[in-house]
Structure 1
Amino acid sequence: MSGGDFVFGVFLQIVDSGLKAFPYTAETSSSDDSEAPSDPHVGVSVTLPDWARFLKTPKVALWDAKRTKTSPEAETKVSFRMPSFRPFVLMQETYANLPFQSWELRPLSDNSALVLCCRAPQENLCMLQSDQRKGLAHILGRWMSRAALQRAMTKAGLHIFVNEHTHRYVHTCRKNPTTEHAAYQQMALLASACAFSWSKWNTQCGDEHLVMQVCEHLPPTAVPAGRWSLYLLGPQRVQRLEATEDSEAFSLDHHPDSEFHSTLVHMLRDTMSPDGAARTRESGYRFVEAVQSLLCSTRPLLFSS
């Protein structure tokens, strides 16, 4: 049976007696029953499912490292040898997509924004968008709730959502959780008219503060590089910084043309255009909830390098 294709399956239930290993005995020649087979191992070739995305060739739970090999079709198959027929599983690192190398939240239109690789419109629905369709074609372009999208992406091997255990396996920058989640709430309120992006200075501003790039942006296009400004968010106040993302060193000096504000919402609305202010006032509560839910479930201000 070496080289045969096996259908990738999932055990739905394990009986009380548990799984048992059944030794495999190779057939011997009838002319010489005493002749032992030179290699009694079982060869298995598994076709990887097309509904999952593997960043690397997956590992097999039960295998002999000396006899393991990858087939020529490494992107779609994995082959290995084991001494007997027994249960096995294909594994890959859960948090291979973390920490984020960068992230961005920008508006697309009224009540529509792009969060990382997820689009969050009104009615509390989200949609996955990606240029890479392999392993994701069955969920790309489908509107679903944030919880349903998270389940679908996780099942497909695209793990960008975090939980209470993620920090044990992924390096993060320590941040005050109250300040962090308050930032997500304010970002969601402004997501119809403002763009937000990762900043390298976020890891160097201390545990009590957050730094991100922000600008008002109304068209559904990429933000020009020169439009971004740095903002420092703290427990008591928010300020625009004089430093930029390209500065040689980080500085807490505030921008001379700006003032201190108690929240990011007040800070940005104070200088926002009439069209931008109208967009934020007309943002639907379902849209705001969807954006905030996506931000809180991915936590880009914490899980980014």
Structure 2
Amino acid sequence: MTISSLVPVQLPKQLQHMKYKVQYRAPSPPPPGVTRTPEEIEAEIKKVEAEYEKLALVFIELPQDVMWSEPPVICQWYEPRQLWISTYINDYKFNEDKLTVQFRTGVLWPIGIATLRYSNMPFQGWDIRPDPNSPGVIISVTGVCVTATWLCVGNTVRLRWIANATTPALTEHFEKPYSVKKMIQLMREAACDFFPDFDAHNHIEGSCPKEWVAERHTYHAMAFLSRAYNFQWSRWNVSAGSRNIVMQIREAVDRKREAKFQLLHTTPQRATILKCNELSQELNLEPLAGLQFYPDLFTLNMSYGSVDARRAAFNMKYKLVETVFSMLQELKLCSYS
């Protein structure tokens, strides 16, 4: 048999390892006042396009189970130092309508998509009131991007609604009972975090961390009275300082006779109702005339509240009190609104 009679055999195609690494950063725009000729601008554009051609073009459709309130941050995993970097990311484009990202990269490392954890803070407003259709308590919090509403019933909390959401994330969990811990986990996984950590004030502008013992005690009193009162945020709270908590309060026992909101002022030493209100020109911490000394909100209600409001506090179920308290403690409404 001669060599010419042999039939050539086609080897199967297979992936071959190839080193690829291109580091490029697009030039920054010229400083203000510097003028360039059209020829210079065109030459620079062509140069940038030529460099971009060397980079890998990546197109990603963002998942719908995450709320993309702001453009996500693209990063890549740098194995030698065990950290995420964005050194090789160029020509980043985010399509808010189609929820897609496009960018060029000079390395084919694992890609990560990150969001700002506290993009919904500081809170723009909040409201706590008894649910008229169940023996529960409604907590509604308005963030920078979305508004979340929960219903606390017994030892469970239900996500009722999320307004202004950019994706259908979390809709599958609406009206389903969860523990407070599980609810926090679900919302954080969907990049809809309303639950700041102990050091969140270092990352959020416009917050005013309150004295923690007084804040925690106030949350417990609010939980006890959550079926008798309607609590709302006050614009005076942030500027009041760390030892002063200011919020709006009114009785909500009788739906037919809806009272007007008053300003509640609590400190580590006392709780009182202020003379001024939310619409006053300036905050005046002078209490109502004739109001006695009350060490906290609960004792204030025992003397200042109506008979129905006092009775409602003693009729509260322990499980509901602890659920509302846990939610308030995790939300930290007084420190971040």
**TM-score tier (shorter):** 0.7 to 0.9
- Which residue is 1:260 aligned to? 293
Q: Which moved more, 1:93-102 or 1:119-128?
A: 119-128
Whole-Å Cα distance in 1 between the matches of residues 265 and 176 of structure 2?
36
Whole-Å Cα distance in 2 between the matches of residues 289 and 111 of structure 1?
14
- Which residue is 2:197 aligned to? 163
Whole-Å Cα distance in 1 between the matches of residues 249 and 51 of structure 2?
69
Kept in 2: contact 1:118–1:126 (CA 8 A) = no
Cα shift at 1:107: 1.1
Q: Which moved more, 1:254-263 or 1:173-182?
A: 254-263
Kept in 1: contact 2:90–2:104 (CA 8 A) = no
Whole-Å Cα distance in 1 between the matches of residues 237 and 194 of structure 2?
19
Cα shift at 1:263: 1.7
Kept in 1: contact 2:264–2:274 (CA 8 A) = yes
Which SS does the other structure have where 1:293 is aligned? helix
Whole-Å Cα distance in 1 between the matches of residues 295 and 282 of structure 2?
26
> Match of 2:311, as an amino acid?
A
> Match of 1:245, as an amino acid?
E
Kept in 1: contact 2:125–2:233 (CA 8 A) = yes
Matched, 1:41 2:55: yes
Matched, 1:94 2:122: no
Matched, 1:150 2:184: yes
Cα shift at 1:24: 4.7
- Which residue is 1:83 aligned to? 106
Give ranges in structure 1 of 5+ residues lacking alignment: 1-20, 26-35
- Which residue is 1:115 aligned to? 139
Which SS does the other structure have where 2:128 is aligned? strand
Kept in 2: contact 1:51–1:136 (CA 8 A) = yes
Whole-Å Cα distance in 2 between the matches of residues 210 and 22 of structure 1?
62
CA distances 1:199-256 after superposition (whole Å, capped 9, x unpaired): 12223333322111111113689x97x7110111122221111010111111122112
Whole-Å Cα distance in 1 between the matches of residues 304 and 123 of structure 2?
30
Cα shift at 1:65: 5.5
Distance 1:146 1:68, change over 3 A: same
Given the two structures, how large is their TM-score scaled by the length of structure 2? 0.73
Given the two structures, how large is their TM-score scaled by the length of structure 1? 0.80
The percentage of counterpart residues that share the same residue type is: 24
Distance 1:258 1:37, change over 3 A: closer
- Which residue is 1:275 aligned to? 308
Distance 1:24 1:238, change over 3 A: same
- Give runs of aligned pairs for residues 177-188 of structure 1, distance below 5 A: 177-188=212-223
Give RMSD over aligned pairs: 2.7
Q: Which moved more, 1:250-259 or 1:172-181?
A: 250-259
Which SS does the other structure have where 1:251 is aligned? coil
Aligned length: 271
Matched, 1:190 2:225: yes
Kept in 2: contact 1:108–1:219 (CA 8 A) = no
Distance 1:255 1:142, change over 3 A: same
Which SS does the other structure have where 2:157 is aligned? strand
Whole-Å Cα distance in 1 between the matches of residues 101 and 195 of structure 2?
27
Name which structure has the greater RCO, CA cutoff 8 Å, separation 6+. 1
Which SS does the other structure have where 2:264 is aligned? strand
Kept in 2: contact 1:45–1:78 (CA 8 A) = yes
Cα shift at 1:22: 6.4
Structure (1 or 2) with the greater strand fraction: 2
CA distances 1:31-90 after superposition (whole Å, capped 9, x unpaired): xxxxx998243222111111110102212114655522335x644211112224221111
Give ranges in structure 2 of 5+ residues lacking alignment: 1-16, 22-49, 77-85, 141-147
